[in-house]
A and B are shown apart, each in its own frame.
Chain A
Amino acid sequence: MYTPEKCKYTKTHEWACIENGVAAVGITDYAQHEISDIVFVELPKPGANIRQGERCAVIESVKAASDFFAPVSGEVVEANSALAAEPALANQSPHEKGWFCKIKLSGDGGQAALMDYAAYQQFTASLKH
């Protein structure tokens, strides 16, 4: 479990859980609720170098496609094959079974730009009308 309190967040609703220079990344509960009914994810391949803020995965719901932007910079070391096989995991378990991939950070990976849990909670509260 990548406990929400431990994670750092983007304004585009990705989380990153950083341990020993490797970030597990995924989408937040807010995002999975907004996207709804995820039926396909296209994940980055291990070995791929990705930069923070770049699109590195595509999320398809029944209704629409959404982009997944890399929350950190680095090299993809693992993609979640269970999620590729069962995309609904991103809805059912966004912070555990529904993680997207693991990224070995280059430098600090740009994590200083991310929000902590409290800031992200405030951010999503400001989005609700």
Chain B
Amino acid sequence: MTSQTIRRTPLYDSMLKAGGRMVDFHGWELPVQFSGILQEHRAVRSDCGIFDVSHMGQVFITGADAHALVQKLNANDIKTVPGKGVYSHVLNEHGGLVDDVIPFCLSNERFLVVVNSATTDKDFAWFKKHSAGMNASVENASDRYGMIALQGPKAPQLMAELWPDAVKLPRFWITETKIHGEGGFICRTGYTGEDGCEIIAPPSAIVKVWDELLSRGKKYGIAPCGLGSRDTLRLEAGYLLYGSDVDDDHTTLEANYGWVLKPNKGEFIGKEAVLKQKKEGIRRKLTGIVLEQGGVPRPGCAVWRGGEKIGELCSATFSPVLGRGIGVGYLVPPDLKEGEPLSVEIHSRKIPARTAKVPFYANKV
């Protein structure tokens, strides 16, 4: 990748105004925190919080073959049920992840795929390449939209005031609607393990949504939240972070996300590799660990079983809910029982830990 200037989202000024501590996140200038990661984390677990997630990408797939293309690209089964979305993996021929995405069916011939920010260009090129010969057009609309995540147990109350129809939708559904007079979407999705929604709207509208949520959300204890709490929340909730936990070389089965795979739905890219790996078994598996005593594990920390190094953590942090260090890493063997005693090497010291069930938090959705 060539070096490029840092990008700002439509909410950049709103972030500064709210006291965001800005950092460079994969080429985007985004807030790592406002009041503090712990405070923001707790606000989302007990009240509600809002995040600027405008760096996420939006790709539209339209045309008579749109559904066929979406099915070819996804390992999960994407149904032609307008309004329905589903968490899915886009695989390469080896079963590795091109990305983890959420495709939404807007109509039988129109789909919106929400993709990760760092992979937007790669995904777009991949989708485009595989659309060859099909009656389907692929459009990267990421620059036309901003995006906000509203998350927390009180998010539905706030949603009910602003978008009474969207709050009635089931988890992972989407509605296309006017937002401050402009065309946008409200999705019943999120990355925290809490109820809530994500709002996709053009730049000028998304700025108004941010202000509206902050002011109307005061009575619900709303907190502006940054990337720091976004990461602690998603890790507690057991969600994957593309680029850290999964990538082109790690498979859905290895990531312990086998439920995403629907090989009986028909053909899709990577299906042969999936079936082969299902038959042969996996050598390593993304496994959760919880520290038994103080210390904060970080990505890259070695995991030991007795005197044998059995893997490294790919995501790790302090869990505000558990009050302990948590992490996930690809461990060998892949069939460690829950509660298996291990240790994690932190600052050259081995800290006792155990394997743990993922998610670490009892997700509310």
Contact = CB atoms under 8 A, between A and B. Distances in A.
Interface of A: 36-37, 39-40, 42, 58, 60-65, 84
Contact of B318 (A36, A40, A42): A40
Given A40-B318, A65-B347, A60 B36 contact: no
Closest 3 CB pairs of A and B: A60-B296, A62-B37, A39-B318
A45 to B, nearest CB: 13
B269 interface: no
A30 B208 CA distance: 34
Contacts of B36: 36-37
Nearest to B317: A62
B228 A63 contact: yes
Residue of A37, A40, A42 contacting most chain B CB atoms (<10 Å): A37
Contacts of A65: 296, 298, 347
Interface residues of B, number: 15
Residue of A60, A61, A64, A84 contacting most chain B CB atoms (<10 Å): A60
Given A36-B33, A63-B37, 16 more contacts: A36-B36, A36-B37, A37-B36, A37-B38, A39-B296, A40-B295, A42-B294, A60-B295, A60-B318, A61-B37, A61-B296, A62-B37, A62-B232, A63-B32, A63-B33, A65-B298
Interface of B: 32-33, 36-38, 228, 232, 294-296, 298, 317-318, 320, 347
Contact of A40 (B32, B294, B320): B294
B334 to A, nearest CB: 29
Contacts of A39: 38, 296, 318
Contacts of B33: 36, 63
Given A39-B296, A40-B296, A40-B318, A62 B347 contact: no
A81 B38 CA distance: 22
Nearest to A58: B347
Contacts of A62: 37-38, 228, 232, 296, 317-318, 320
Contacts of A58: 347
Contacts of B317: 62
B320 to A, nearest CB: 8
21 contacts: A36-B33, A36-B37, A37-B36, A39-B38, A39-B296, A40-B294, A40-B295, A40-B318, A42-B294, A42-B295, A60-B296, A61-B37, A62-B228, A62-B296, A62-B320, A63-B33, A63-B37, A64-B298, A65-B298, A65-B347, A84-B294
Nearest to A87: B294
Contacts of B232: 62
Residue of A36, A62, A64 contacting most chain B CB atoms (<10 Å): A62
A23 to B, nearest CB: 24
A40 B351 CA distance: 13
Contacts of B32: 63
A42 B317 CA distance: 16
A36 B38 CA distance: 9
A60 B38 CA distance: 13
Contacts of B296: 39-40, 60-62, 65
A109 to B, nearest CB: 26
